[in-house]
Chain A
Amino acid sequence: MTTAPELVPVPTEDHAETAVYRRPLLEVVKVSKKFPVRVGPLKREYVSAVDSLSFSVDHGKTLGIVGESGCGKSTAARLVVGLLPIDEGDVIFDGVNVRGPRQMRQQGPAEKSLRRNMQMVFQDPHSSLNPRSSVGEIISFPMKVHGFPKEEQRERTSWLLEQVGLHGNHASYYPHQLSGGQRQRVNIARALALSPKLVVCDEAVSALDKSVQAQVLNLLKNLQEEFGLTYLFISHDLNVVEYMSDTVCVMYLGQAVEICDSEGLYHNPLHPYTRALLASTPVLDADAPRIDVPPLEGELPSPLNPPSGCRFRTRCPAAMDVCAEMAPVVTMPEPGHRVACHLYPETAETTVDPDFALRTIAAREPVEVAV
Chain B
Amino acid sequence: MALTAARPAAETAMAPADGLGPAGAGESGPLLQVRDLVTEFKTRDGWLTAVNHVSYELHRGRVLGILGESGSGKSAMLRTILGLQPKSTRISGEVILRGRDLIAMTPREREDVRGSWVSMVFQDPMTALDPVFTVEQQLVETIRRHSTLSKAAAAERALELLEMVQIPSPERRLKAYPFELSGGMRQRVVIAMALVSNPSLLLADEPTTALDVTVQARVLELFRDLKTKMGMGIIFVTHDLAVAADIADDIAVMYAGRIVEYGRLEDIVRNPQHPYTKGLLEANIRPGQTERPEAIPGAPPNLAKLPPGCAFAPRCSKVEATCWESLPTLDSIGLSHGVRCFVATREIQNAMPVAAKGA
Interface residues of A (CB under 8 A from B): 68-69, 179-182, 209-215, 217-218, 221, 236-240, 242-243, 266-267, 276-286, 288-289, 295-296, 298-300
Contact = CB atoms under 8 A, between A and B. Distances in A.
Given A281-B287, A283-B286, A299-B182, 19 more contacts: A68-B212, A209-B69, A210-B283, A210-B284, A211-B69, A212-B295, A214-B283, A217-B293, A238-B213, A239-B287, A243-B290, A280-B217, A282-B246, A283-B246, A283-B287, A288-B287, A295-B221, A299-B185, A300-B182
10 contacts: A68-B212, A179-B299, A182-B299, A209-B239, A211-B283, A214-B294, A281-B242, A284-B241, A285-B286, A299-B215
B294 A210 contact: no
Nearest to B302: A179
B297 A282 contact: no
Contacts of B212: 68-69, 236
A198 B214 CA distance: 31
* Residue from A69, A288, A299 whose CB has the most chain B CB atoms within 10 Å: A299
B213 A277 contact: yes
A180 B239 CA distance: 15
Contact of A213 (B185, B283, B297): B283
B134 interface: no
A296 B70 CA distance: 30
A283 B289 CA distance: 12
A243 B70 contact: no
Contacts of B214: 68, 276-277, 280, 295-296
A210 B280 contact: yes
Nearest to B216: A280
Given A180-B70, A209-B70, A299-B184, A236 B283 contact: no
Contact of A210 (B218, B221, B241): B241
A68 B212 CA distance: 6
A278 B213 CA distance: 9
B296 interface: yes
A283 B215 CA distance: 15
Contacts of A279: 217
Contacts of A299: 182, 184-185, 215
Contacts of A289: 287
B286 A69 contact: no
B34 interface: no
Contact of B217 (A212, A218, A240, A295): A295
B346 interface: no
A282 B280 contact: no
B245 interface: yes
Interface of B: 69-70, 168, 182-185, 212-218, 220-221, 239-243, 245-246, 269, 279-290, 292-297, 299-300
Given A180-B70, A214-B295, A239-B289, A284 B281 contact: yes
A180 B300 CA distance: 11
A242 B291 CA distance: 12
Given A217-B293, A239-B285, A299-B185, A284 B280 contact: no
Contacts of A215: 295-297
A216 to B, nearest CB: 8
Contacts of B69: 209-212
Contact of A281 (B184, B213, B218): B213
A236 B241 CA distance: 17
A21 B304 CA distance: 57
Contact of A282 (B242, B279, B285): B242
A266 B285 CA distance: 14
B246 A217 contact: no
Contact of A284 (B215, B245, B299): B245
Nearest to B70: A209
Contacts of B184: 299
A239 B285 CA distance: 6
Contacts of B285: 214, 217, 237, 239-240, 242-243
Nearest to A67: B212
